[in-house]
Structure 1
Amino acid sequence: MEKVILYVDFQHQGPFGKEMAENLQTLAESINEEPGFIWKMWTENEKNKEVGGVYLFDNRKSAEIYLEKHMVRLSQWGYEDVTYKIFEINEQLTKINHSPILY
C-alpha cells in the first residue's frame, strides 16, 4: 500500500500548548474521519510563532483532497503563506531507521 507524508506549516500568534490543544480538540477529532488518513503529529514552535503538522495518508489522492480542504479552512481563519509538501516514502531506507510507519 502506498503511503505519503503531508507536511504543513504556517505562522501562528497563539495560543500554543495546552490551550491550543483545548481549542482544537474538535478539529483534531474530525481529522480522524478523513478518507485515507492514518495519523498526524501536531507541530508547534512558540518562539518562532509557527504551527503545523506532519500527516500520514495511505495514498496521495487522499492527501491532496485533505490538503485542499485544509487550505480553504486556513484561509477562512485568516492564515496566509502556508507551506505544504507531499512526499512519497522510501520504504527501504525508512525501515532501516526503525520507523513505525511500515510496521
Structure 2
Amino acid sequence: MDYVKSIEAWAKNRGLDKTSSDKQLIKLVEEVGELAEAHNKEWRDKQIDSLGDIFVVLTIYALQNGLRIDDCVKEAYNTIKDRDGKIIDGVFVKKSDLEERKDD
C-alpha cells in the first residue's frame, strides 16, 4: 500500500489540500510535543502513534505547498547519504561543521 498517496487522497477528500498550511505547522508542533512526552515517559504505543501523526501532518503540509513528501525525503537522503562527520554527545555533526568549530 502506498501510504503517502492514501494520506494525500484522504486530505483531498476532506478539502485539506486547499486550506492554509499555517494550521499544519501548528499541528506539527502539537504532535512533536506529544512525541516528546511519549519519549520522556517511555510510552512506546504513544511514540508510534505520534511518529505516524507527524508523518501524516508533514505529508499534508507538503501537499498544501505543491510538494510531495516522497520527493522531500529523497532530496534529504541524497544530501546526507555521503556525508562524513562524527557523533558528539549522541548527535551526528557533519564534517564541515566540525571544521568550523576548529576555526572558533
Bigger share in strand: 1
Bigger share in helix: 2
